[in-house]
Structure 1
Amino acid sequence: MNKIAIIGAGASGVAALRQAVEQGLDPTVFEARASIGGAWILANANHDRSAECCSISFDADRVANVAISQSAFTLFDDDKFSFPTSTPMYPSLRTNVPTLLMQYNGISFPPATQLFPGPNVVENYISDAASNFLEFFQFNTHVSTLRWTTKDDAGDQRRWTLETQSTLDFNSRIESYQFDFVIIANGHYQKPYIPFIEGLDSFPHDITHARFYHSADSFAKKNVLVVGSNASGYDITREIAESIVKKQVTDTDSVMKIYQSRKSLSPTGENFDGPENADWCKIITVLPTISKIQGPDIAFCNGTILSNIDTIIFATGYYFSFPFANQIYAPFNEFPLTKQVPLPNGTVSKQHRDGGLRVHYLDSRDIFYLPDPTLALIGLPYHVLPLSLAQIQSRVAIKYFTKQINLEFQVGTPEEYPETREALVYGHPKQYDVHDALLKEIGEGGEGDGLYCKTPQYIRDLRVGAFSLRRAVLGY
């Protein structure tokens, strides 16, 4: 029986596992944490998020490196692995879309679930979807190396060699496995991205990233600048603004300020200046992008300068990071999944050594690794409904692995394309168009209500109205 390794036990990894079992492969899921759920885990067994304190240090190239104090590891330490940090989830977070759009095809949330549930509900849902397959998981297992098997490797000479260590013991021995196929499903919410800003290292006050946000209470009596307007930037700005309004009711001397710097309005965001907006919207000052920082002075592209900011929160997304795909080994030595991003001064920061803003050498489906399509990457696109997309992507990949379908491979994003995330930003209606195209390619996706049918019009309509529905239900 052919063996398949699945790296990650989040939403994408569980989708891949279910497809692998259904299609007759022998899977092993490697997960660094102690449980299933990936980015939706609110608190993980290995590390207490409440004990984390985010600080920023700077390398010689003046680019921020996020580190965790009060911990035994550094997030961007490229020289050794560490047990996993907590996820970006925070207790007050709610899904952006209703459960009908969140769920896997054919697996409903429990009947009493709220329309827009919190992290624990989604984590439990993903875990329940894997509950009949627990024998295939290896928890607390860090994948340190993925590479082609060589003739010098002991074992049965399957295509890929994967090496692991226990996340519970830094001194544990290295275990080696061989597989015919590999699916990378490790997500992209681990390594924070902080853009290059001239003078950022001179800012004398607190700098953090949305990945470490827990609650507005952490920013009491502080003037805060949130950089970014996507889902996390909007939510954090809103929560801090609401906390300021509540504080002003009881403390008339309160003069806390909240600012948001953004390039444009996110589809999940808010203009903050509508006549019927809540009181918290009215205290938010929206500014364009930052042009330069000099000490406490933050200059913006419209000429505005702020000198009163106590904390900058970067809600600017994440790098794609595959540190196990070490570039000293084939095939990644010649065809790396991520590439170093040159800085404006022509150098390359340590921050970019094992992460990048895009994924290279993908086929036109954004699934297969072109140099060797026995490797697939699931759940890479942004602005998508990840569970249903991962389910369909996994189905395509595993049907190809098991030779049930023949596929032709074409280059996706050209290598000369800029190092940005735009190549993997889907949104609506592209995601559902991709769903339908992938299913059609494997001989499915017909009209009807079956598990793998063409996307129904009511689902597309609900997707269009999802954010309006969220505001009607949650008030924001």
Structure 2
Amino acid sequence: MQKQRIAIIGAGPSGLAALRAFESAERAGAEVPEIVCYEKQDDWGGQWNYSWRTGIDQYGEPVHSSMYRNLWSNAPKEALEFAEYTFDEHFGRPVSSYPPREVLWDYIDGRLRSSKAKDKVKFATAARWVQHHEDTDTFTVTVEDLKTRTTSSSEFDRVIVATGHFAYPNVPTFEGIETFPGSIEHAHDFRGAEKFADQRVLMIGSSYSAEDIGVQAYKMGARSVTLSYRTKAIGHDWPQGMEELPLVERFEGNKVHFVNGQVREFDAVVMCTGYIHNYPFLPSDLAIDSPNNVYPSGLYRGVVWQENPNLYYLGAQDQWFTFNMFDAQAWYVRDLILDRAELPSAGDRAAHIQTWVKRFHDLSTEAEEVRFQADYIRDLIDNSDYPMFDLDAVVEIFLAWVRDKKENVLTYRDKQHRSVMTGTMSARHHTPWIRELDDSLQRYLSQPEKDEIEKMMDDEDVVKSVRTK
């Protein structure tokens, strides 16, 4: 019998999860299919593979990554930790709960660094088209080698789409925006907040990008930061110099009018308005057409394309959980491909989808949404051999994180959390986040001498003296 061939499109965290899932089975003695992974960037890591480029990359392709230079994890690492490769194992000691991007990329890379997984990845290779053949129930995947500008096609039995959905920005327009004399960019193109020093900055949006880029701008010395929400304010206890206002009504030069009648002047605008599902290499009958939410339509168990169960998606959900959810998805998809898990009939799949869709539409709070996603992951793990972990404990970490941000959005990254995988309490980073301007891996793992401010803060007598004045 001819060996199955599997195409994985994308080598970000989701694609790496798929590679790891098959590698895990192979190490345990299983016979696995031939796997080819196509990645249009020069290295793996997806969003975590930072590039200074915006718009178009060195090959003339749309830049995939939305990563910015000084990003630190905006959720506790204990909520995204791999169940079968812990931070303790990777770093050999406890590290803080909110690492910067370079540290998280090192962790993602480290899990597969000593494996042969990279041999299966064709880098600088963009997927151009996927065609399904009904007569043979196979796929032709056409790709372009971006370095040689040559196009080739190969046949596969299954296709795993692991390109994520944070690469194609949703960019609305507003009356008069063309008259605005300052800079306008989407969060996808944002690379650093240093340029906002002494500027009045408007963030249009009320989700994590607006919150984090807004706080970054504040950290880097913006004169003021305003966040504009469409339906609901984030509602943090913002520091002086940050505020929330409802939706923008119109622009008049550098003056911006809001729907509540308020008017402000700005020097820069960042559209933190989300992303859309877009798969230009897929025909419409294979591509997700759904809003960005925690249960996108058309997917059985969130991964199997209902209309063609030989096509799979990883990481297509809006996300509370990330890396470990991608793992749970990848292990389940792998087991379907290896015939370790049984795929129900189309009718049973449709009924299963409808049950979860109804539950999704009944959600009304953030806490309910987190628990919904935890239950979704639990369902996947129950149907594979991925190590089960305490999902309820991770939910509590998320809820504590939400509370910490509401209490003080400038200090929540200084909090410590306990790993549900190892029981290890995270370390306290040597420098408070608001004063840490070096995001490098080397700096993060170092033990620098305390500066004069830190010494004063450690001196209880000095602190008491300042507080009583």
TM over 0.5: yes
Alignment correspondent of 1:472: 415
Q: Of 59, 70, 73, which residue of structure 2 is paired with 1:95?
A: 73
C-alpha deviation, 1:257, in angstroms: 3.0
Query: In 2 relative to 1, CA 321–260 (structure 1 residues): closer, same or farther, beyond 3 Å?
Result: same
C-alpha deviation, 1:380, in angstroms: 1.1
User: 2 CA distance for matches of 1:386 and 1:89?
Assistant: 15
Alignment correspondent of 1:312: 269
CA contact (8 A) 1:367 1:397 kept: yes
Query: Cα deviations across residues 69-91 of structure 1 (Å, max 9, x unaligned)?
Result: xx778xxxxxxxx3352622223
User: 1 CA distance for matches of 2:147 and 2:399?
Assistant: 44
Alignment correspondent of 2:338: 402
Query: Cα deviations across residues 216-236 of structure 1 (Å, max 9, x unaligned)?
Result: 221234321111232221122
Q: Report whether the alignment pairs 1:130 with 2:112.
A: yes
C-alpha deviation, 1:9, in angstroms: 0.6
C-alpha deviation, 1:427, in angstroms: 4.3
The answer for unaligned runs of 5 or more in structure 2 is 405-411, 417-431, 435-469
C-alpha deviation, 1:159, in angstroms: 0.5
**Quick one: which amino acid aligns to residue 165 of structure 1?**
E
CA contact (8 A) 2:292 2:317 kept: no
C-alpha deviation, 1:28, in angstroms: 1.0
Alignment correspondent of 1:116: 98
C-alpha deviation, 1:413, in angstroms: 7.1
User: 2 CA distance for matches of 1:286 and 1:181?
Assistant: 47
CA contact (8 A) 1:435 1:455 kept: no
Query: Cα deviations across residues 165-196 of structure 1 (Å, max 9, x unaligned)?
Result: 11224xx2211011111110101221111224
Query: In 2 relative to 1, CA 2–166 (structure 1 residues): closer, same or farther, beyond 3 Å?
Result: same
CA contact (8 A) 1:361 1:371 kept: no
Q: Of 140, 143, 147, which residue of structure 1 is paired with 2:127?
A: 143
Alignment correspondent of 2:372: 430
**Quick one: which amino acid aligns to residue 293 of structure 1?**
F
C-alpha deviation, 1:271, in angstroms: 3.0
Aligned residue for 1:244, secondary structure, equals coil
Query: In 2 relative to 1, CA 391–293 (structure 1 residues): closer, same or farther, beyond 3 Å?
Result: same
C-alpha deviation, 1:130, in angstroms: 2.3
Q: Of 40, 44, 50, which residue of structure 2 is paired with 1:36?
A: 44
Query: In 2 relative to 1, CA 413–300 (structure 1 residues): closer, same or farther, beyond 3 Å?
Result: farther
User: 1 CA distance for matches of 2:395 and 2:226?
Assistant: 34
The answer for unaligned runs of 5 or more in structure 1 is 53-66, 74-81, 152-156, 246-255, 273-280, 340-355, 445-450
Aligned residue for 1:465, secondary structure, equals helix
C-alpha deviation, 1:164, in angstroms: 0.6
CA contact (8 A) 1:336 1:360 kept: no
Alignment correspondent of 1:363: 299
User: 2 CA distance for matches of 1:459 and 1:260?
Assistant: 29
CA contact (8 A) 1:383 1:427 kept: no
CA contact (8 A) 2:8 2:161 kept: yes
User: 2 CA distance for matches of 1:295 and 1:338?
Assistant: 36
Query: In 2 relative to 1, CA 40–114 (structure 1 residues): closer, same or farther, beyond 3 Å?
Result: same
Alignment correspondent of 1:175: 152
Alignment correspondent of 1:462: 397
Alignment correspondent of 2:428: none
Aligned residue for 1:397, secondary structure, equals helix
**Quick one: which amino acid aligns to residue 236 of structure 2?**
E
Alignment correspondent of 2:174: 197
CA contact (8 A) 2:296 2:317 kept: no
C-alpha deviation, 1:428, in angstroms: 1.1
The aligned length equals 384
CA contact (8 A) 1:392 1:439 kept: yes
Query: In 2 relative to 1, CA 257–466 (structure 1 residues): closer, same or farther, beyond 3 Å?
Result: closer
Query: In 2 relative to 1, CA 85–259 (structure 1 residues): closer, same or farther, beyond 3 Å?
Result: same
Matches within 5 A, 1:345-360: none
C-alpha deviation, 1:395, in angstroms: 1.5
Q: Report whether the alignment pairs 1:242 with 2:237.
A: no
**Quick one: which amino acid aligns to residue 432 of structure 1?**
A
Alignment correspondent of 1:159: 138
**Quick one: which amino acid aligns to residue 371 of structure 1?**
E
User: 2 CA distance for matches of 1:34 and 1:107?
Assistant: 25
Q: TM-score, normalised by structure 1?
A: 0.72
Query: In 2 relative to 1, CA 291–391 (structure 1 residues): closer, same or farther, beyond 3 Å?
Result: same
C-alpha deviation, 1:287, in angstroms: 0.7
User: 2 CA distance for matches of 1:99 and 1:361?
Assistant: 29
Aligned residue for 1:383, secondary structure, equals coil
User: 1 CA distance for matches of 2:186 and 2:103?
Assistant: 25
Q: Report whether the alignment pairs 1:208 with 2:178.
A: no
C-alpha deviation, 1:94, in angstroms: 1.2
C-alpha deviation, 1:146, in angstroms: 0.9
CA contact (8 A) 1:158 1:179 kept: no
Query: In 2 relative to 1, CA 126–178 (structure 1 residues): closer, same or farther, beyond 3 Å?
Result: same
Matches within 5 A, 1:66-85: 82-85=60-63
Aligned residue for 1:428, secondary structure, equals helix
Aligned residue for 2:299, secondary structure, equals coil
Question: Which moves more between the two structures, 465-474 or 111-120?
Answer: 465-474
**Quick one: which amino acid aligns to residue 439 of structure 1?**
I
CA contact (8 A) 1:436 1:455 kept: no
Query: In 2 relative to 1, CA 427–127 (structure 1 residues): closer, same or farther, beyond 3 Å?
Result: farther
CA contact (8 A) 1:363 1:410 kept: no
Query: In 2 relative to 1, CA 103–84 (structure 1 residues): closer, same or farther, beyond 3 Å?
Result: farther
Matches within 5 A, 1:293-332: 293-306=251-264, 308-327=265-284, 332=285
Query: In 2 relative to 1, CA 161–378 (structure 1 residues): closer, same or farther, beyond 3 Å?
Result: same
Q: Of 387, 406, 409, which residue of structure 2 is paired with 1:452?
A: 387
Alignment correspondent of 1:352: none
Query: In 2 relative to 1, CA 92–103 (structure 1 residues): closer, same or farther, beyond 3 Å?
Result: same
CA contact (8 A) 2:296 2:316 kept: no
Q: Of 294, 303, 308, which residue of structure 2 is paired with 1:372?
A: 308
C-alpha deviation, 1:459, in angstroms: 3.1
Q: Of 225, 228, 233, which residue of structure 2 is paired with 1:258?
A: 225
Query: In 2 relative to 1, CA 443–3 (structure 1 residues): closer, same or farther, beyond 3 Å?
Result: closer
Alignment correspondent of 1:383: 319
User: 1 CA distance for matches of 2:254 and 2:75?
Assistant: 38
**Quick one: which amino acid aligns to residue 237 of structure 2?**
N
CA contact (8 A) 2:97 2:415 kept: no
Q: TM-score, normalised by structure 2?
A: 0.73
Structure with the largest fraction of helix: 2
Query: In 2 relative to 1, CA 99–357 (structure 1 residues): closer, same or farther, beyond 3 Å?
Result: closer
**Quick one: which amino acid aligns to residue 18 of structure 1?**
R
